Structure 1
Amino acid sequence: MIIAIDGPAGSGKSSTAREVARRLGFRHLDSGAFYRALTLAAQRAGIPPEEWESLDATDLDRFGVRAVPGDGGFRMLLGDEDVGDAIRDPAVNADVSTMAKVPAVRAWLLDRLRAASNGVDLVSEGRDTGTVVFPDADLKIFLVAEPRERARRRLIQQGVAEPSEAELAAETERLLERDRIDSSRAVAPLRKANDAVELDTTNLTFEEQVDRIVSLALERRERLAHE
């Protein structure tokens, strides 16, 4: 069974998908981590973002980005280095949308993301998981939340326990710009799949949103078992 969870930055995709996978005993796949790892690799290689459009499959292979199963999900590696923490750096956040809109990058990753689902029950999350990567997913969820709440969550994730008004305003602006880029890109833009269930998490606790998705997943699995 494949569950696809999509939504804009700060909507709670990663933490929610990880916990849903844990509760169901599924493997968790963070598609955004692949884009982040490629972004980090390009930054470390000294390739400026304005040149990323010219990257091809050979360049991407040379970066040495790979994912290996571990801890109920996948560990992101650059060569033999685990970069799970490094890919969450603000500098990576600032450039990952540029990497994600490169056609060669999306084509390069598509087969790798799909290969991760072979023979396993999977909860995958990203921005085009239900529309492009797994268009036939058994359950599709599209998470949304008010921009200010998304900004608050993102800042807390970055270690800002009590964000100031100025920090919230600046982060909200960054997220809205990220939304604009992700929604308007020519290749696989951020959008809700026609058959996705939209879940507004603005006023939900973390446990509430996880409970709702787990409930939907169990209902869908029961239905599939009788088809």
Structure 2
Amino acid sequence: MLAKIVVAIDGHSGCGKSTLARDLAREIGFRHIDSGSMYRAVTFYFLENKINAKNQSELSDAISSLDLSMQINPDGTTALYLGEQLMTTQLRTAAVNESVSEIASIPAIRSHLVAIQQGLGQHGGVVMDGRDIGSVVFPGAQLKIFLTASLLKRVERRRLELERNEINISADEIRKNLKHRDHVDSTRKVSPLLQMEDAVLIDNTNLSRQEQLAMVVALVKVRAASTMELN
């Protein structure tokens, strides 16, 4: 039986963080927590309610009224709710894609969601993906992974994802959006995207989904065994 470690997966948009995290959590029997979906849900909430995030009073009221929750499904996956609304395709619209980096860079929002994420993973046995999991949310995670892939591969993956959700955007627009998000994520003052020194770097440009999973499962087994020895 594996020790209930925390696995942190970080990387740029379109690198396949959530896909790997879901596959890994299912394979090893851990919970998967997609922190990016939480930021997307907040972005959706702000857009739907026409909240001006630059207005401090509106921002404070919006954060106070946020009702985000996660439920664990029988198969071990998690479902994200905004109030009573299940968040699925709403999180992948063009409007959310264009605004999520700016909303996620607001310190008050990051602080609020980081606290929620830390609470969800405090007992271990979780695979959490995002952009600041290994650096801010769980700096003591027993296994940190930093995913990367070529821009061309990332554009292709995002295009296929959008097509599955019946969203039609050109490859050029996707490329521009990814490059913009890379810049915002890497240069924001609060919780910028960083590759930590103790993170395992994986370039999955030419890896199949199965190859990537096998590689990370092997890493988890080593780190989990080390954790059990220390305890």
TM over 0.5: yes
For 2:53 and 2:170, locate their aligned partners in 1 and report how far apart those are by CA, in whole Å.
Answer: 25
Q: Residue 47 in 1 paired to residue 41 in 2?
A: no
Q: Residue 66 in 1 paired to residue 85 in 2?
A: no
For 2:57 and 2:135, locate their aligned partners in 1 and report how far apart those are by CA, in whole Å.
Answer: 23
CA shift at 1:3, angstroms? Answer: 0.2
Contact kept, 8 Å, 1:53 with 1:102, in 2: the verdict is no
For 2:50 and 2:40, locate their aligned partners in 1 and report how far apart those are by CA, in whole Å.
Answer: 15
Q: TM-score, normalised by structure 1?
A: 0.92
CA shift at 1:69, angstroms? Answer: 2.3
- When the two chains are superposed, the root-mean-square deviation of aligned CA atoms in Å is 2.1
CA shift at 1:49, angstroms? Answer: 5.4
Identical-pair percentage: 36
Where in structure 2 are the equivalents of 1:149-188 lying within 5 Å? 149-159=153-163, 167-188=170-191
For 2:51 and 2:158, locate their aligned partners in 1 and report how far apart those are by CA, in whole Å.
Answer: 27
Q: 2:31 aligns with which of 16, 27, 30?
A: 27
Query: How many pairs does the alignment contain?
Result: 223
Where in structure 2 are the equivalents of 1:45-194 lying within 5 Å? 45-48=49-52, 50-51=54-55, 55-56=59-60, 58-70=61-73, 71-159=75-163, 167-194=170-197
Residue type at the aligned position of 1:36: R
Contact kept, 8 Å, 2:12 with 2:148, in 1: the verdict is yes
- Give ranges in structure 2 of 5+ residues lacking alignment: none
Ranges of 4+ aligned residues in structure 1 off by more than 4 Å = 48-54
**Which range moved further: 9-18 or 77-86?**
77-86
For 1:52 and 1:31, locate their aligned partners in 2 and report how far apart those are by CA, in whole Å.
Answer: 24
How has the CA–CA distance of structure 1 residues 68 and 52 changed in structure 2, closer, same or farther, with 3 Å as cutoff?
farther
Q: TM-score, normalised by structure 2?
A: 0.90
**Which range moved further: 95-104 or 70-79?**
70-79
- Give ranges in structure 1 of 5+ residues lacking alignment: none
